[in-house]
């Protein structure tokens, strides 16, 4: 899944869970059944997971372009800074 696909998946997950929660609460309140409310919300969670968790093709529309190994060798690798950070001098009054 690419970065844009992850963003789409997360937005869809948030919206669908809120919608299923509101619908489940409304139906459960109208019927007066906590069990029906939990069944509707649980079904919404399962449906949302089936849509957002697998790596579906519509989540891969913007693939990343990786460097070729020969191209990567030409660019410098980041160096790890092992020096301790300097503390700022505090002002005394």
Range of the domain at 38: 1-53
**Residue 1 belongs to some domain of the structure:** yes
**Residue 4 belongs to some domain of the structure:** yes
Write down the pTM of the prediction.
0.65
**Residue 73 belongs to some domain of the structure:** no
- Higher pLDDT, residue 68 or 92: 68
3-36 residue pLDDT tens: 888 898 899 999 999 999 999 999 999 999 999 9
* Inter-residue contact 62 to 5 (CB < 8 Å): yes
Residue 88 has pLDDT above 60, yes or no: yes
Look at the chain and report how many structural domains it folds into.
Answer: 1
Token pair of 88 as six digits: 């700022």
28-50 residue pLDDT tens: 999 999 999 999 999 999 999 99
Residue 79 has pLDDT above 80, yes or no: no
CB neighbour class for 57 (10 Å; exposed up to 12, middle 13-18, buried from 19): exposed
């Amino acid at each position: 899944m690419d970065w844009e696909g992850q963003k789409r998946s997360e937005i869809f997950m948030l919206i669908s869970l809120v919608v299923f929660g509101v619908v489940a609460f409304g139906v459960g309140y109208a019927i007066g059944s906590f069990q029906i409310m939990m069944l509707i919300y649980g079904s919404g969670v399962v449906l949302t997971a089936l849509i957002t968790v697998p790596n579906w093709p519509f989540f891969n529309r913007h693939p990343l372009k990786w460097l070729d190994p020969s191209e990567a060798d030409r660019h410098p690798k980041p160096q790890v800074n092992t020096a301790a950070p300097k503390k700022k001098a505090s002002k005394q009054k």
